[in-house]
Amino acid sequence: MSINRFKYVSVVGLTAAALLVGPVAGATATPQLATTTAVRPTLTAKVTANHVRAWQQFRIYGASKHLKTGTRVTLQQKQGKRWVALPVSMRTNNKAAYNLRVKLGLKGRNSLRMVGGSAVSPIVFVTVR
């Protein structure tokens, strides 16, 4: 067998092997890609009262998912176009929950949310009279 013919046979053989193995390797790699997606942490938020008097105490509570136990969660209030952190925070307990006592003095409809880790809760509303 000449050297040129040997090169031709080996190239054809490698190409055929790649064509046969390629789709199989791709099929087995696809499920692995689906399992490597990162799970985003979440926070929930609920209030015990939708309407309160100025400086009347109410509670905001909720739970976290996919956050480390003991993560600090902080209450934020929308003031104008900015979210301002209020001096109300706590760490999540061993059941991934939190329960805060809150007093607000800003009259009108207040938009509140909880933030912790990389999670942000949905907005809850409390009207202060």
List, for residues 28-80, the tens digit of each pLDDT value.
555 555 566 889 999 999 999 999 999 999 999 999 999 999 999 999 999 99
Give the Cα separation of 129 and 107 in Å (integer). Answer: 6
Q: Classify domain 42-128 by CATH number.
A: 2.60.40.10
pLDDT, residue 33, reads 53
pLDDT, residue 38, reads 84
Task: Please tell me which residue, 102 or 9, carries the higher pLDDT value.
Answer: 102
Sequence ranges of the domains in the chain:
1-37, 42-128
Q: Do 116 and 72 form a contact (C-beta atoms < 8 A)?
A: yes
pLDDT, residue 100, reads 96
Instruction: Encode pLDDT of 86-104 as tens digits.
Output: 999 999 999 999 999 999 9
Q: Report the C-alpha dihedral over residues 103, 114, 49, 86, rounded to 10 degrees.
A: 10
pLDDT, residue 27, reads 53
- Of 126, 81, 80, 121, which is closest to residue 103 (Cα–Cα)? 126
The DSSP line for 17-34 is HHHHHHHHHHHHHHHHHH
pTM for the whole structure: 0.70
Query: Residue 53 is which amino acid?
Result: R
pLDDT, residue 2, reads 59
